[in-house]
Structure 1
Amino acid sequence: MSKHLPVLLIILFSSFLVFSGCQESVQLTTQPSGAISQMQAIPFEFSVDLAPKDQLNKWTESSFVRFTPPLSGKFIWETPRLLKFTPDMPLEPARHYSAVIQKAVLFGKKKRTDFDTLKFNTQLIEVEGVSATWSEYSSYGMKAPIELTLVFNQEIVVRELKNYLKVYCNGEEVTDLNIYGYGTDKEVRIYLEGKDNAGETQQFQLQLKAGLPSQYEYATLEKPAELTTLLHPVAEVKIQTINVEIRDGHQLLVMETNQKISPKILRSYLKVSPETPIQIENYGNKMHIKGAFKPGSLVNVSIRKGLHGLNGGELKEDFSYNLTLPDLEPFLRFTDQKGYYLMRNGFENLNVKCVNIKSFEVRLYEIYENNLSHFISENSDQFIRTDYSYDYGVDIDNYGRLMFLDSIHLPNVEKNTLQNRTINLQKQLRSKYKGLYAIELRHNSDRWERISKVVSLSDIGLISKQSPDEIIVYANALSSARPLAGARVQLRSVTNQVLATATTNGQGIARFQHLKEKLQSGPDGWVPSLITAHYGDDFNYISFRHSEVYNGRWENDGKEKKQIDAFLYPDRDLFRPGDTAHFAAILRNWDLSTPPDLPVRFQILGPSGDLVLDLKKTTNSQGSFEVQVPLSSGATTGRYRAQVLSTSKELLNSISFNIETFVPDKIKVSLGSDSKDAGPGDTLLFPLAASYYFGADCSSHSYEYRIRFQNQSFYSLNYPRFNFQ
């Protein structure tokens, strides 16, 4: 048998090669590579059919591809060969990713694969451009600062820029660079001294070394960059760029020039077609032109020659430029981003507005009460917000349960048109649920486009007032405003510990008292975070963090607690020497009861602080007393102080008043002019008339006059380069 063994092995090995060669090879024909968008579906297209028909057009969380760093999202087979991954949130900026295809894409088919590890990245830190302009103070024949604006696609660390940047002007290195800014920023301004404002065009070359840090710890400028820009003489106005930018869902035209231009002057030279009412705002050398521009349309911007800049330059030739306005980016928003309370058994509607979205997914989560403090303290910034920026997601399943999932379709959506849709929670909750909910709206296909909101559904309205040692809670029904008696109110900490429990009285008021001692003796986590209230089967809460009213603008320290409180007041606060001043005081115990026959001292201090008057007084049955003080005709003028003290010399209250010598006006004087305009050599007449307020004309009186001429700057639209004085 040993003689036939090699032959048998050769036959078996040959058979294996034959059968292996019969397996169909699977290749990738489309794959992510290089730089991709932060917000896009990631395609994987194979050379052969893989997905069964029953798996097409279904969203799944099956692990067909493993990403590093990990990405959350869903897969969908659009065709038997085309697999797409849609991330749940935008990819991180300036981040490198890798992807490995898993065997699950074969669905058990016997096919041969040899997939390499795929590498791709979002847009890395790059320099988008540089522009050079004359500063606002440049003028003919003067050396003046030049402003270079360096624009990046992500925020960079401004203070580090000087270590990575070199600037050359006409081939000569510029060393006196002043970099303006701090922290991180996308646009960095660099100032340097100009050479010859009225000379030839200057060329600036900027060299950036790799390694410049960005706002992200993991990302730096990976490749060195070299940029060039021109600065035209200050005697010329040059339109450097015109672009379209989108701000808050609206399109505007941004025009950049080599020197600043007055919006009023630009309006008389500018024409935008098709015609539409426009607003012009200037931001340095950039002009923002706002109008009712229609997305997707062609806009022509024309500027007549002769336009003057604030540095004295002039546009030498007519300028015309055509722009095609892009379509609006899809967006999905809650109409009301701030409010998060809905009245139970009301309409329970939420309004949503969207643009260029045909359908979106609605997810409604209930947040459990025992997770309320953790959810609010750790994640509420992702939900309770007033801006429209993308968030990077919160795993709400860790705090509650998914109660409702549905897709809303918007048929016959007109492109670039704002759509409004009402989401009714009553249908979903059927009025039997109450409490806190998180609502998430997500674009069905572009799943990174999403917005979230917290909603509290309840008929309990809560108001709280806090002092260092006490918290007062008012509970009223939102539907009728009546006080809610018997509501159970709890004070919870940031760690969800119940710090105190109280029940509202007949006026709907609950008090948490003696808190200072309790909180100081408790653990570090005993910091009040929110108040919860239960009334029957209803529930609501109020968060200190998001409901606090800032009161730093007002004096809210309150009075110092004393045994006796006094209110002191005069008949007026201004007297003349020889007048009689009247003062009265009302005294009460701290519990507002009346202290009869209470001995006190009444004093008046003069302008220099000396004691002018010291009287002993006793309160009457109403807890008050009065004092009449005849003032001497020779009394010193100035500011006086009256005060009430206890017999133990404790100051109860004090007020100030003035003693002044004054004479009312008796004569009325009118002064005019015979002409509003005058030239050199002209004579100006100023007619003067005087009369007594109650009597005849004031004649045969001496008078004194002074005339002062003050220069007034004059600016002419016909001569914008000049300032007349």
Structure 2
Amino acid sequence: ETEYQLRVGPSAASASGEAALGQEYIATFNTSPFPAIARVRPEPDSVPDQWTRGVVIGFVSPMDWDTVEDRIIIDPDPGVARYYVNSYNNQISLDFPYELDTEYTVTVPGDAADPYGNTLGADFSWRFQSPGRPPIASFNLAPQISQLSTSAANAVDIIHVNSGDMEVRLYDMGLPLNLINRPYDLQDYQPAAEPLRRWQISPDTGRNELGIYTLPLADGGTLPSGVYLLALNAANVDENARYWQNQRNLLVIGDTNVTVKEMFGSVHVWVTDIASGRPVEGRELTLFDAQGVEAGTAVSDANGFATFAYQQINDYLEGVTVISGAPGQAGFGVGNSQWNQNIGGWTFGLPSTTSDEADLFAYIYTDRPIYRPGDTIYYKGIVRETDYGRYTIPAPRPLELKLFYHNFAGGQSVDVIIPVEMDADGTFSGEYTLPDDAPTGGYDLFIQDEGVDGRVGVTVAEYRRPEFQVTLTPEKEEALRGEAVNVLLEATYFFGGSAANLPVDWTIMEEPYSFFVPGLYYSFGDNAQFDYRNVGP
């Protein structure tokens, strides 16, 4: 591949000799090498990474892709392989999922040609070995923190695939309040003490086979009540896998389940017996804040309930821990207010926050959502004391309502204070007339008093009120591809008459459609194999 430069001097004359070029002409061009393979991926005789797919072939020069696409042979045949051409890099990619532990041979035909008809001259082949399943060694426990009862034999299952020899270590942690409050620190925690026990495990499963090994922690019995650390290592599993595999787990062994609810000004606790599920009376409970400082004691009542008076240091719920009894004794249990994995409000589509709620909540609404400059906004608000959803009527009091619009473009803004008086029913209402020169945009109407939460948005626009309504009704909701569908258009004036003899412009748009099938790992998009493992029909 060589770069050439052509120069024509300024004295170059015309055929008649009466005129000259007058200035130097320079042209640059390159020659292309004959077709050849510059690079391939995976590399020959290699084992690609676990998440690699397909093959990539790079050529030294531009190619006639019609002589390449759908002509590359892959053995064993992967079935459907999608071709992707990158002309800028003279590169072609074939996407397909690998079979496990399979030797692939890829062959590019020798008659693959460049745009000038030059060919490779001979078939080009290379081999690579696909990887097996990624090595896994993981406790079959809840992430980070788990609980086992002293009423049943203590054992844990270990899920393993291609793990090699495994080692499990058990540590007595005492009361590790730092890890109970911040279990995400477990992944980098290094115990200072020697483990209570070690187990060396050599799995007997074959390559790529899933195995489950049950490890008794107390030789068929139970460990003394307390908090323990289980740590797992495996010969073939990378050390960093502990960040996504469950290889470090804080294990609470006890007979008491402790449920903790932290609120502003108090902490509520419910204790039950793990074996029977019944509330337990007389459990001695100790409250610790997020820094591990003792913050109070209480005793559960006949219903298993106890309440601590507790004032947070910060203006948010930082998390608290409650200990029942003491390690090594009956009645031991541990609970933390932030142990809510898969049962928190967001799991059920409910918004939740660790910040304190406002003292008052106001539901504000207007007579319509859009106005013109000069229009009158009629508004009403219903105010209630929040009190964690009880919504009682507050005493009458004055409030300040603010209408606000900020013009980010630097033009006219609006900042108006509207005094309102809340009546005995906890409501207020009124009106505000917009100036004739009010800027258009999105306005906020809200109560600016401290401790009151309530707002509504309105739009000010130079809009034209619609005169008629148009509806489109297809004769059927579903149709096969290529099938004609009639659509009924109806136009009516809002005052009741039909809108006849009006010109009609119409546009039809399409978008991909997918439907939901109950169950796991279904996808109907073209890129399904990028996201899901092919597990068969």
Q: TM-score range by the shorter chain?
A: 0.5 to 0.7
How far has the Cα of 1:437 moved from its partner? Answer: 3.1
Aligned match of 1:319 in 95, 120, 123? 123
Query: In structure 2, what residue type is equivalent to 1:568?
Result: I
How far has the Cα of 1:586 moved from its partner? Answer: 2.3
Aligned match of 2:73 in 271, 274, 279? 271
Query: In structure 1, what residue type is equivalent to 2:158?
Result: N
Q: Contact between 1:251 and 1:290, CA under 8 Å: does it hold in 2?
A: no
Q: Contact between 1:337 and 1:453, CA under 8 Å: does it hold in 2?
A: no
Q: What does residue 436 of structure 1 align with?
A: 227
Give the match's secondary structure for 1:433.
coil
How far has the Cα of 1:428 moved from its partner? Answer: 2.8
Q: Contact between 2:364 and 2:379, CA under 8 Å: does it hold in 1?
A: no
Query: In structure 1, what residue type is equivalent to 2:492?
Result: Y
Distance in 1 (CA, whole Å) between partners of 2:240 and 2:439 is 73
Aligned match of 2:323 in 533, 544, 557? 533
Q: 1:316 to 1:612 in 2, by over 3 A?
A: same
Greater relative contact order (Cα < 8 A, sep 6+):
2
Q: What does residue 351 of structure 1 align with?
A: 158
2:209 matches 1:418: yes
| Residue pairs, 1:268-417, within 5 angstroms | 268-277=70-79, 291-295=97-101, 298-305=103-110, 316-317=120-121, 319-323=123-127, 325=129, 331=135, 333-334=137-138, 336=140, 339-340=143-144, 341-344=146-149, 345=151, 348-355=155-162, 357=164, 360=165, 362-370=167-175, 373=178, 380-382=186-188, 396=191, 398-399=192-193, 401-403=195-197, 405-411=198-204, 413-414=205-206, 416-417=207-208
| Residue pairs, 1:71-110, within 5 angstroms | none
Query: In structure 1, what residue type is equivalent to 2:225?
Result: K
Would you tell me which structure has more strand in proportion to its own residues?
1
Give the match's secondary structure for 1:436.
strand
Q: What does residue 15 of structure 2 align with?
A: none
Query: In structure 2, what residue type is equivalent to 1:381?
Result: Q
How far has the Cα of 1:556 moved from its partner? Answer: 4.4
2:360 matches 1:569: no
Distance in 2 (CA, whole Å) between partners of 1:253 and 1:618 is 69
Distance in 2 (CA, whole Å) between partners of 1:314 and 1:337 is 62
Query: In structure 1, what residue type is equivalent to 2:248?
Result: K
Q: What does residue 500 of structure 1 align with?
A: 295
Aligned match of 2:492 in 684, 689, 693? 693
Q: Report the TM-score, using the length of structure 1 for normalisation.
A: 0.43
Q: 1:667 to 1:626 in 2, by over 3 A?
A: closer
Aligned match of 2:383 in 568, 586, 591? 586
Q: 1:634 to 1:321 in 2, by over 3 A?
A: closer
Q: What does residue 531 of structure 2 align with?
A: none
How far has the Cα of 1:363 moved from its partner? Answer: 3.7
How far has the Cα of 1:350 moved from its partner? Answer: 1.4
Structure 2: tracts of 5 or more residues without a match = 6-27, 406-412, 473-487, 508-537
Query: In structure 2, what residue type is equivalent to 1:600?
Result: P
Query: In structure 1, what residue type is equivalent to 2:193?
Result: Y
How far has the Cα of 1:666 moved from its partner? Answer: 2.2
Q: 1:614 to 1:267 in 2, by over 3 A?
A: same
Q: What does residue 66 of structure 1 align with?
A: none
Q: 1:632 to 1:588 in 2, by over 3 A?
A: same
2:426 matches 1:624: yes
Give the match's secondary structure for 2:313.
helix
Query: In structure 1, what residue type is equivalent to 2:313?
Result: K
Give the match's secondary structure for 2:106.
strand
How far has the Cα of 1:589 moved from its partner? Answer: 8.8
| Residue pairs, 1:29-68, within 5 angstroms | none
Q: 1:421 to 1:368 in 2, by over 3 A?
A: same
Distance in 1 (CA, whole Å) between partners of 2:65 and 2:220 is 54
Q: 1:611 to 1:471 in 2, by over 3 A?
A: closer
How far has the Cα of 1:301 moved from its partner? Answer: 1.4
> What whole-Å deviation, never above 9, does each CA across 1:201-223 have from its counterpart, x for those lacking one?
xxxxxxxxxxxxxxxxxxxxxxx
Q: Contact between 2:100 and 2:132, CA under 8 Å: does it hold in 1?
A: no
Q: 1:667 to 1:262 in 2, by over 3 A?
A: farther
Provide the alpha-carbon RMSD of the alignment: 6.3
Would you tell me which structure has more helix in proportion to its own residues?
1
How far has the Cα of 1:402 moved from its partner? Answer: 1.8
Structure 1: tracts of 5 or more residues without a match = 1-133, 135-139, 144-194, 201-232, 384-393, 518-527, 671-688, 708-725
How far has the Cα of 1:420 moved from its partner? Answer: 0.1
Q: 1:503 to 1:294 in 2, by over 3 A?
A: same
Q: What does residue 221 of structure 1 align with?
A: none
Distance in 1 (CA, whole Å) between partners of 2:290 and 2:404 is 54
Q: Report the TM-score, using the length of structure 2 for normalisation.
A: 0.55
Distance in 2 (CA, whole Å) between partners of 1:499 and 1:439 is 26
Aligned match of 1:600 in 398, 403, 414? 398
Percent identity of paired positions between Structure 1 and Structure 2:
8
Q: 1:557 to 1:331 in 2, by over 3 A?
A: closer
Distance in 2 (CA, whole Å) between partners of 1:333 and 1:286 is 37
> What whole-Å deviation, never above 9, does each CA across 1:33-68 have from its counterpart, x for those lacking one?
xxxxxxxxxxxxxxxxxxxxxxxxxxxxxxxxxxxx
Distance in 1 (CA, whole Å) between partners of 2:239 and 2:419 is 79
Distance in 1 (CA, whole Å) between partners of 2:438 and 2:296 is 62
How far has the Cα of 1:663 moved from its partner? Answer: 1.9
Q: What does residue 42 of structure 1 align with?
A: none
Give the match's secondary structure for 1:418.
coil
Q: What does residue 211 of structure 1 align with?
A: none
Q: 1:643 to 1:538 in 2, by over 3 A?
A: closer
Q: What does residue 454 of structure 1 align with?
A: 249
Query: In structure 2, what residue type is equivalent to 1:514?
Result: Q
How far has the Cα of 1:409 moved from its partner? Answer: 4.9
Distance in 2 (CA, whole Å) between partners of 1:629 and 1:501 is 52
Query: In structure 1, what residue type is equivalent to 2:72?
Result: L
Q: Contact between 2:289 and 2:321, CA under 8 Å: does it hold in 1?
A: yes
> What whole-Å deviation, never above 9, does each CA across 1:424-463 have from its counterpart, x for those lacking one?
4366361343333334556699999998432414466667
Distance in 1 (CA, whole Å) between partners of 2:117 and 2:304 is 73
